[in-house]
Amino acid sequence: MFRILFKLTRKNNFNKILCNMSTFTQYRNPLTGNNEWVLQDDDYDYHQEVANTGFGDMLHDTERNQKYFAALRKTIAKMHNEGREVHVLDIGTGTGILSMMAVVAGADTVVACEAFTPMANCAEKIFHANQMDKKVKLIKKRSTEIKVGIDMPRKANLLVAELLDTELIGEGALGIYNHAHKHLLTDDVICIPAKANCYAQVAQTTNPLLKNKMPILANLDADKLLRPPAATLSCKGSASLHDLQLSQLPQHTFTPLTKPIEIFQFDFNSKTIRPHSRVNNLLVETINSGSTDVVFYWWNIEMDLDADILLSCAPYWVHPDLETIKQNVNNRVSLKDAVPWRDHWMQAVYYIPKPIFISAMDKFNLICNHDEYSLWFDAASQAQTPNDIVPRHNCSCSFHSSFPYNRIGQYNDFTRNKRYLCYLESAIDKDSNVLSIGDGCLLGLFTKLLGANNVICYEHSRNTRRFVELVSAHNDLSNVQFVDDIKAIDDIKLSKITHVFAEPYFTSSILPWDNFYFGIVLEEIRDKLNENVNISPQTARVYAVPVEFLNLHKIRAPVVKCEGFDLRHFDEMVQISTEIAQAKIEAQPLWEYPCIALSKPEEVLEVDFNNYLVDKATSGTFKAEASGSCNGIALWVNWHPSNSTKSNHIVSMGPVDNVQPGEFINWYNYARQAVHLIPTPKDIENGHSTIEWTANFKPKLGSLNFTFNINV
């Protein structure tokens, strides 16, 4: 990195000349594949961390906030009634909201600690703004660095903390609680939350997103098969969790095989050391027949010692407050959307390494494991003797470790594969010489089974190339060449290429249009190709639609006030960091986040891969066709393998049904779309409001920018 001294001028009420140290940082532009140098503030990493923090999401979690407050009020009142003083320690205070709740609830003293310095400085300002700076002692350290008698005057007899994640223990809660009980807390301490109970439900699934394996790829007549290699079939896959909004999972795509099972309990209040690893081998009875494909996982926390205040992260169909939740259902909010929403604590899916088939009312062994930071599972029939300890499994075949879950879902999506195969089967014959471009492009490899004479696979990623090589060898495919440098292909071979094919997919892609990198790769060899070469996809089209999200917008929305506390300093900090380090458009799996269309979609950009390097600037206007709060613009890419405009010849990464204004959008489940979230939503009116948009695409620079302007 190179450091330079430069001057910035900001125009406020006064012109100020600011001197800052800045840094040249290198990053890979996914649209060009080039490593580029960008001048960033020295504080860029800090701003990036602040902009992507989950604090805002937590502060919009009304149930969480109210139940923490209720538990503090109840516990502090009870301790006072018993004649005890209340000395609170708040570990990982963040904005300081739990400390301020403790003060309002009547705590005698409150000590808060926060190790992330920018957040600690923000909490300091928030305490002052709420007249709490004299009532809360703030320690800018990790709790494990605090010394009683030096940093805090006495041990605390009430601990309030929020150290949990989707997996419950992934943020190091076990170690933090063990240290606090040993060094910072009294023997009669009360902890909020007091206890956590973890649950599992085993299920069979037909959902491609949850298949976690390479399928057998077949042509339309199913007489040509590309089979997964032996290494993949024997691989146990990855033990990593697949976190998602489980309530949004289409119910017809899975069958629960068991009732919810309590698998682990974590007693945060106990002075007994919480073990860092455990195994729980449970004999479980099934309620349906099926294959033990996946484990759905969530947890509940008992906020108080009496377990009167319960917060559950369960999906809607097994939620303990289901009857209360049903009261929130209306024409706009379905049951799956009525569950208290949060993105900082979701649910998780874990994959059984080797699923077994179990009949209804039969029993099997569910082996549940955890270490200090994670969980994993296995299943065994009653006839098998399960191991007391199942080692955490890892991918050994390059498939599971190379591809994210949504990419594996694409492999298992029959409809998607069929649309590409419709083109390939009509285009490829024995005289075809195919160049396949992309990472893990199995359909490109499949052209060999369709009769292609020669196939060259450009696989830039080493891991994906290793996997596709395994697939090729296992299927005894001849005349297949693998390259990791497109320019290394012999000129004579390039001149004989009849078809260039891509899905397209690159492991470096984040936003949907990052896969336009296909065009850059193509341009590097364009002058070596025959002028009659067939390029697929021929075009890609970017579409956009203004929407009203039920909840997703909250991750970027200002908090202002939370449970009566002024948090505007937090909003200001996040806003500044977001402007510096947060992209205006981000990738999200929109099937997990229900939204209502406020107009018909519009095509905002078309890219022609036969003429890729042309700059394009487009503009237009959405006309509101439904009234609502416009808090986001959703964007996606449709790929056109051929010049056919028939819908069943187009591979869409966006809506799977026609979009109707005023109705929820049914999104493609196996890709992330793009979204521009509007921090301050605007109410728009059907037939009156408009949204102006522009798109500016500079392929040589690897730049695609959009603007949106709402006119109410």
The catalytic residue positions are: 162, 171
DSSP codes joined into one string, 376-406: EEEEEETTS---SS-PPP--SSSHHHHS-HH
Return the DSSP state at 18. Answer: E
Q: Which residues pair with 203 in a beta bridge?
A: 256, 294
Show the tokens assigned to 258: 């068991």
Contacts of 649 (CB under 8 A, 6+ apart): 419, 422, 423, 640, 641, 642
DSSP-derived letter for residue 213 is S
Please give the sequence-ordered ranges of beta strands (E in DSSP) within 453-506, or none if there are none: 454-458, 480-483, 499-501
Pairing of strands 242-244, 347-351: antiparallel
Maximum Cα–Cα distance for the chain, whole Å?
90
Output the CA torsion sign for 398, 399, 401, 402: positive
Secondary element (H or E) of residue 124: helix 117-129
For 110, 555, 604, 637, the CA distances from 672, given in Å and listed in that order, are 43, 17, 18, 10
- The alpha carbon of residue 591 and the mean position of all alpha carbons in its chain are separated, in whole angstroms, by 12
The count of other CB atoms within 10 Å of the CB of residue 76 is: 25
**Tokens 């697929």 sit at which residue?**
536
Six token digits for residue 433: 């010489």
**Would you call 43 exposed, middle or buried from its count of C-beta atoms within 10 A (0-12, 13-18, 19+)?**
middle
Residue closest to 353 by CA, chosen among 314, 308, 400, 309: 400
Contacts of 62 (CB under 8 A, 6+ apart): 340
